Amino acid sequence: MEHTTMERTTRYRASTWQVSAGRIAAIAFALGLSASVFAVGTAVAATSPTTASVISTVKNSKLGTILVADNTVYTLKPSKTACTAQCQKTWLPVLLPQGVTAATAGTGVDASKLGTKTLSDSTLQITYSNKPLYWSAKDKAPGQVKGNTTDKWGKWATVATKKSSSGSGGGGDTNAGTGGVSF
């Protein structure tokens, strides 16, 4: 009988160890999966611009030569509703990095039109012809132009430094919106 009890105890300990090992493996897998999801989320967040120091231009077949700071930048002709915190989740202000006091004019940009506006938190927002610049959250990659729109905050438009000579352009950038403001 003693042998049977010892045999049962050994089997119980072995099965408990297998269950515990299984739980540990499941927890490790879940933590690894959580870390992977966190890493992917962080990578996505890292691709959205938060600051810029160089404003340059790119050619868009429909809009002409437009301003960019990696992604396309826009200006706002405001409505009666101010662009505050809720607005700035969709329309991200183009901010200078901390410690930088002036934007640099890249290719095709008139440096005399670049400036800054000090925001309430003392950060500096880049301006062009005294108009604050914004990124659109709809633009997920450089070259996209999905922000030419009107919403409750006003009319948003790309900044065209040179209008397209081809009018509607045909072909070209399928992400291009219509409109744009010339400077």
How far is CA 50 from each of CA 69, 93, 121, rounded to the nearest angstrom? Answer: 10, 8, 15
Is residue 70 helix, strand or coil? coil
Report the relative pairing of strands 54-60 and 134-136 from DSSP bridges: unpaired
Instruction: Go through 96-129 and write b for each residue having 16 or more CB atoms within 10 A of its CB, e for each that does not.
Output: beeeeeebebbebbeeebbbbeeeeeeebbbbbe
How far is CA 127 from each of CA 34, 54, 105, 109, 113, rounded to the nearest angstrom? Answer: 40, 12, 12, 12, 8
How is residue 103 written in tokens?
């934007």
Q: What are residue 117's DSSP bridge partners? A: 125
How is residue 34 written in tokens?
């959580």
Looking up tokens 């540990």 gives 24
Say how far apart CA 58 and CA 142 lie, in whole Å: 10
Contact of 99 with 38, CB cutoff 8 Å: no
What pLDDT tens digit does each residue of the chain (183 aa) get?
A: 555 555 555 554 555 445 444 555 444 444 443 333 333 333 333 445 789 999 999 999 999 999 999 999 999 999 999 998 999 999 999 999 999 999 999 999 999 999 999 999 999 999 999 999 999 999 988 889 999 999 999 999 999 998 766 554 433 333 344 455 555
How is residue 95 written in tokens?
């901010």
Q: What is the pLDDT, as a whole number, of residue 142?
A: 83
Say how far apart CA 63 and CA 178 lie, in whole Å: 7
